[in-house]
Amino acid sequence: MVVCRSLMVLMVPVALLAAACHLFTQQRRRAMFLLLRLGSPFTVLWTVGGLGTPMLLIAVTIILIVMNRPANYLSDAAAFALFVTVALAFCIRYDSIVFTIWPCLYLIIRRSNGARTPGSPSWPH
């Protein structure tokens, strides 16, 4: 258990650094993102407070990275990664569904507006 907790304490900064590099191109904005996330009392408390919460923070960071592009440009693999990450977040903490279901619903609604269904004129025959 101590090894898992130590691993999660190390994984949180790595996940946030990956998010900062993916979301921001300017060094100054990356530094500000990391300062606000790692310096937050909530992040510090959650990281040392329990095993599930740092894992949930990593899952939410992955959801943020995946959803940081228009839904029209989201590939099927990225959409699958989003749904798997939301499912893992739910397995980590069941109450996370209150926050993580919204990106999935948004993606489903955005993709269903232009979806091709059997019988529609754009469906390949």
- pLDDT tens-digit series, residues 69-94: 765 677 788 888 888 888 888 888 88
Q: Is residue 65 part of a domain?
A: yes
- Range of 16's domain? 2-110
Q: Is this structure's pTM higher than 0.85?
A: no
Tally of domains within the chain: 1
Q: How many helices (H) and strands (E) does the chain have?
A: 6, 0
Q: Is residue 117 part of a domain?
A: no
R_g (Cα) of the chain, nearest Å: 17
Residue 59: per-residue pLDDT: 82
Residue 117: per-residue pLDDT: 47
Residue 70: per-residue pLDDT: 66
Q: Is residue 80 part of a domain?
A: yes
Q: Is residue 88 part of a domain?
A: yes
Spans of the chain below 50 pLDDT: 117-120, 123, 125
